[in-house]
């Protein structure tokens, strides 16, 4: 592996962790698509700051982007408070309008400047190692310095305000009652989302920023209920997506950013299917187990209800269960097999009787 390949993966990993940590709170607040809106609308903040400074390297571009992100959130909430449209519709109204203004301004007044929308949206990680800085005698990529700085800011913010973020995310009313100012925390979080998005613009583009902000936290959400673990899991999934996405692009000779975004989707799909508690397969198994347990209970109650009655010879016959319990013959035979295996019933010449364990189970259900 060449130094350039290592640097590309390292930059992508820094972006992935920085985005995933903030994305956890966006996902938990049900504001995942706000990251998409902010990652587009901050382009207008960059454009306005560029027109003021006439430099694409000025730190004012970050400030302009952060302010535009906060403005986007404010406009969405302002429209949402009217109760005339829902929040998702408000996002759909605000971000295309602001983004289109930025595109028009770039095409009309900055056509000769390296600020094109393709670079902003798609990014190109392969070029990241070419722009370098000398930091403390070390020659390192400029994108690595930027993304590492943003990651440190995000980590410091989460560590310092972890309690406030947790409370404001899960119970804003209680946070306000305790004097934690959830609105301030909310807008600070949105400002960091804006900074993170603009910091990753040149390196990865906004599409990958959105992918890193949503997919790893969403996958982590399926794996744990604890916020601390969700932060760790989302960061790990982001790094795995970045590294595996790079090698996928290398193998296919495809877009690096596109391959990384694809891997975030693949890992989310894996969690969606195989998560121990919330995955589709776990849910299907749980439903099947519940169905089986209910059927076993119904069988024991049915047998107990007709035991010692003159209908027992008819009602408790294996061949008549499908008729009386409305089960298919195959399902009835399977439940009888499981009931015998669990020691709930005995079968003699096709007639079913309860064991002591089966009688106890039916009595518990009758008393319930």
Domain ranges, ordered by start, for the chain: 3-209, 281-367
Q: Give the ranges where the chain is alpha helix by DSSP (H).
A: 3-28, 32-53, 60-81, 87-109, 117-122, 142-160, 162-170, 172-177, 182-199, 201-223, 227-252, 256-274, 280-306, 312-315, 321-324, 329-341, 356-367
Task: Say what the pLDDT of residue 31 is.
Answer: 80
Task: Say what the pLDDT of residue 57 is.
Answer: 66
Task: Say what the pLDDT of residue 367 is.
Answer: 61
Rounded Cα distance between 215 and 24, Å, is 10
Task: Say what the pLDDT of residue 168 is.
Answer: 85
Task: Say what the pLDDT of residue 25 is.
Answer: 92
Q: Say what the pTM is.
A: 0.81
Task: Say what the pLDDT of residue 263 is.
Answer: 94
CB 223 within 8 A of CB 30: no
Handedness of CA 314, 315, 316, 317 (dihedral sign): positive
Task: Say what the pLDDT of residue 368 is.
Answer: 52
Task: Say what the pLDDT of residue 120 is.
Answer: 55
Low-confidence ranges of the chain (pLDDT < 70): 56-57, 109-124, 202, 312, 365-368
Strand bridging mode 351-354 / 138-141: unpaired
Q: Give the ranges where 82-141 is alpha helix by DSSP (H).
A: 87-109, 117-122
Please check whether the domain covering 281-367 is classified as CATH 1.10.10.10.
yes
Task: Say what the pLDDT of residue 110 is.
Answer: 60
Task: Say what the pLDDT of residue 297 is.
Answer: 85
Task: Say what the pLDDT of residue 345 is.
Answer: 84
Rounded Cα distance between 294 and 333, Å, is 15
Rounded Cα distance between 164 and 160, Å, is 9
Task: Say what the pLDDT of residue 111 is.
Answer: 59
CB 181 within 8 A of CB 41: no
């Amino acid at each position: 592996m060449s130094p350039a390949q290592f640097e590309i993966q390292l930059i992508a990993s820094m972006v992935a962790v920085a985005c995933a940590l903030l994305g956890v709170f966006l996902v938990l607040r049900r504001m995942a698509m706000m990251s998409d809106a902010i990652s587009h609308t901050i382009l207008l903040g960059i454009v306005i700051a560029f027109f003021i400074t006439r430099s694409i390297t000025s730190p004012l571009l970050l400030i302009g982007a952060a302010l535009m992100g906060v403005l986007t959130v404010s406009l969405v909430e302002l429209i949402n408070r009217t109760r005339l449209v829902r929040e998702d519709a408000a996002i759909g109204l605000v971000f295309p309008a602001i983004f289109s203004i930025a595109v028009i301004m770039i095409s009309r007044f900055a056509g000769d400047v390296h600020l094109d929308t393709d670079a902003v949206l798609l990014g190109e990680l392969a070029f990241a190692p070419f722009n370098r800085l000398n930091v403390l005698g070390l020659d390192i990529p400029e994108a690595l310095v930027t993304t590492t700085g943003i990651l440190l800011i995000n980590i410091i913010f989460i560590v310092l305000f972890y309690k406030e973020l947790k409370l404001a995310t899960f119970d804003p009313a209680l946070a306000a009652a305790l004097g934690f100012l959830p609105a301030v925390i909310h807008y600070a979080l949105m400002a960091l989302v804006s900074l993170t998005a603009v910091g990753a613009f040149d390196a990865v583009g906004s599409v990958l920023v959105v992918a890193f902000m949503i997919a790893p936290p969403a996958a982590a959400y399926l794996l744990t209920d604890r916020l601390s673990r969700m932060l760790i899991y989302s960061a790990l999934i982001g790094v795995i997506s970045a590294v595996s996405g790079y090698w996928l692009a290398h193998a296919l000779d495809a877009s690096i950013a596109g391959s990384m975004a694809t891997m975030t989707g693949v890992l989310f799909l894996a969690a969606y299917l195989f998560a121990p508690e919330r995955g589709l397969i776990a849910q299907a198994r749980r439903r099947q187990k519940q169905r089986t347990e209910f059927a076993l209970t119904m069988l024991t109650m049915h047998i107990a209800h007709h035991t010692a009655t003159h209908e027992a010879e008819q009602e408790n016959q294996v061949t008549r269960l499908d008729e009386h319990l409305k089960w298919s013959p195959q399902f009835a035979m399977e439940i009888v097999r499981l009931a015998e295996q669990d020691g709930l019933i005995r079968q003699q010449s096709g007639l079913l009787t309860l064991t002591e364990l089966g009688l106890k189970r039916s009595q518990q259900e009758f008393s319930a």
